[in-house]
Every structure is written in structure tokens, then in C-alpha cells.
Amino acid sequence: MKMIRYTLHRVLQAIPTMIGITLLSFILMHIVPGGPATVMLGDKATPQLIAQINRSLGLDKPIYVQYLIWISKLLQGNLGYSYSYHQSVTSLIALNLPRTLILVVSAIVISHILAILVGVFQAARKDTRFDYGITVVIYFLYAMPTFWLGVILISIFSIGLNWLPSGGISSPLNPNPGFVSYVRHMILPASVLILTTIPGWSRYLRSSMIETMLQDYVRTAHAKGLRQARIMIRHILRNSLLSLVTLIGMSLPGLFSGALIIEMIFNYPGMGLLFWTAAQNRDYPILLGIVTLVGILTILGNLLSDLLYGWLDPRIKYQS
């Protein structure tokens, strides 16, 4: 019962944040100079033509009216119609979101596994040469610019060794790549995202585990004569994993940002590339749709990880 009340409370709390996201993106997009009409017309732009296009796109109405129209459509699941693709935004996102999600989700899963392995071994061998060595590697990955890592991987694996493709997953010549081809196209972009996500998590896990090691119940476990590995995994890791779970939701915006650069480098047609093109064309419905969607995903991710945290850890009491 408490759980349900807490969930409801959190969902209600998320609503103002959601409205805030739509407001912020809507206002930002409409206060910048220029607009879709100037992009569409290019050199042929005249005040009359611009006004005509703005009227047909509904951009001549006051901004609050436009916002209310957009938000009432959004509540019906309608994200509007793209100016440049002449398709509904929902269908464009339905096409591109899965591709980005594969990238982001595989990065979350694989880098968690690797970060846990690295973090556990580092904590177990704290202050040894192994620990220092890995720490330096992690520092390097942490400071590594995503795009540079991408460029290096392309130069080594695509151009130097010719093992993996550097992009072009959905060229007109090859509209439906098979599974194997898809995976081959995924390896480099996913590796970049994974390698740049590991450091934050493994560093967090290492320090959290080292902190847990000082707890009394760990000393008790040692005193009981339990094996070191068992203590590390059953007593310490379990506790530290809990707090790692709460990081997933909040890491989504960062992962989407990372995906944008990666999609640009590898010419991988996902949400980032779609957003990029839409930004050049001032395709407001697409831009707003994507920002809103990522916002919803982040809020949902946060909510889920909070609830998961409470479910995993019986000590957490919910208070509204």
C-alpha cells in the first residue's frame, strides 16, 4: 500500500517536470531568429512568402496558442507532421528510436557488466599495482573525447584492417541489411559508447565498495570466517549495486548525447542524426518530439530505478 502511494506520489511529481521540459524546449525553439520558412525558401525568401508559409504551418499564431495546440495534440499521442520529411513525427521516431535504443541499451548492459567486473576487482585489490594500473586506464577513458575514439576505431578497424564497416547501415542500395550485417555495423558505434560509459560507473562502484568494506557487518562477516570472495560478492557488491541502479535513469540524457555524436561519425541513422537534420531544417515538430521523448524516457528511467531500489533494498522506507 505504501509502495503504491509512493509510486503515485512520484508520478504526480514527474508531471511538472514534464511540463517544464516541453515549455523549455518550445520557448527555446521559438525565440531564436529565423525559422522553417527562411530555410525552406533559401534565396527566394520574401516577407510575403515567409508569412504565407508561417500561416500554413500555424506559426503566425501567438506562441502560447501554438504551445497549447501542440500540447493538446501531444496528449492524444500526436507529435505533429514534419515539414521536411512530409511524414508524421511519430512514424519518423518509430523508425529511428529503435536504432538508437539498441545502441543505448546495449551500451548500458555491456558497460554495466564490464564496470562491475572492473570495480569489483579493483576494490578487492585496492591500492595494489593492478588497482593503480586500471585506475590510470579508467582516467584515460574518462577524458577521452567520444568523437576521437570513433575516428581512431574507424582508422584502425575500417580503413587499416578492413574488418568492420565505418558506416552506411541503411544505404539506398541496401535498404534491409540482414542480422549479421546489422551487427557488424553496430560493433564500432556501440564500442565507442560502451568504452566511454564504463569509467563513470566503474569509478563509482569501486569507491562505493571500498566504503562498504568499512562497515561493521563486513567485519562481522570476516569474523565469522566467510571466504573473501563470498564477502565481496554477497555482502559488499550487493549493497553497492543498489546505488548503481539509481544512476541508470539519470544517465540517459548523457547517453543520448553520446549517441548523437556517434551517429554523426558512423552515419548511423538514429535519433541523433534525425535531430541533427531537423535542426538544420528548423523542423520544429521533430525537434520538440525528440526532446520530449528523451525527457519522458529519462523521467521514467528515474522513476523505475527509484522503485527498483526500494524493491531490492527492504531497508528503504517510502515516505510521501
Q: Does 128 bind another protein (CB under 8 A)?
A: no
SS3 of residue 255 by DSSP: helix
Q: In sequence order, what are the beta bridge partners of 29?
A: none
Which of 56-64, 227-235, 271-279, 308-316 is the region at the interface with another protein (rule: CB under 8 A)?
Answer: 271-279
Residue 244, class by beta-carbon neighbours within 10 Å (0-12 exposed, 13-18 middle, 19+ buried)? buried
DSSP classification of residue 316: -
What is the rounded CA–CA span in Å between residue 25 and residue 18? 11
DSSP single-letter state for residue 76: T
Other Cβ atoms less than 10 A from the Cβ of 289: the count is 26
The dihedrals phi and psi of 314, each to the nearest 5 degrees, come to -65, -15
Binder to another protein among 25, 82, 208, 305 (CB under 8 A)? 25
SS3 labels along 123-184: HHCCCCHHHHHHHHHHHHHHHCCHHHHHHHHHHHHHHHCCCCCCCCCCCCCCCCCCHHHHHH
| 145 is an interface residue for another protein by CB under 8 A | yes
Distance from chain centroid for Cα 3: 27
x-or-dash string of contact with another protein, 238-267, rule CB under 8 A:
------------x--xx-xxx-xx--xx--
C-beta closer to another protein: residue 138 or 232: 138
Q: Which amino acid is at 65?
A: V
**Residue 161 sits in the site that holds another protein (CB under 8 A):** no
- Taking CB under 8 A as the criterion, the residue among 40, 45, 95, 144 binding another protein is 144
Enumerate the β-bridge partners of residue 58.
Answer: none
Taking residues 188 to 207 in sequence order and writing x for each that binds another protein by CB under 8 A, - otherwise, the string is --------------------
Residue 111 or 166 with smaller CB distance to another protein = 166
Q: Write the binding mask 39 to 78 for another protein: x where contact by CB under 8 A, - elsewhere.
A: ----------------------------------------
Choosing from 2, 51, 94, 148, the residue that interacts with another protein (CB under 8 A) is 148
User: Residue 1, interface with another protein (CB under 8 A)?
Assistant: no
Which three cell numbers, joined as nine digits, stand for 312?
531490492
Residue closer to another protein, measured from CB, 256 or 268: 256
| Closest approach of another protein to the CB of residue 104, in Å | 11
Question: Residue 179 CB, nearest distance to another protein (Å)?
Answer: 28
How far apart are the C-alpha atoms of 97 and 130, rounded to whole Å?
40
In this chain, which of 298, 305, 306, 310 binds another protein, going by CB under 8 A? Answer: 298
Regarding 163 and contact with another protein (CB under 8 A), the answer is no
Of 111 and 302, the one with the shorter C-beta distance to another protein is 302
Is 133 among the residues that bind another protein (CB under 8 A)? no
Tell me the C-alpha distance between 69 and 78, whole Å. Answer: 11
Binding another protein (rule: CB under 8 A), the pick from 280, 304, 313, 320 is 280
DSSP string, 257-291: HHHHHHHHHHT--SHHHHHHHHHHHT-HHHHHHHH
Retrieve residue 228's grid coordinates: 573473501
Supply the DSSP symbol for 33: S
Which residues sit at the interface with another protein, rule CB under 8 A? 16-17, 20-21, 24-25, 28-29, 32-34, 139-140, 142-148, 151-152, 154-155, 159-160, 214, 250, 253-254, 256-258, 260-261, 264-265, 272, 275-276, 279-280, 282, 287, 290-291, 294-295, 298-299
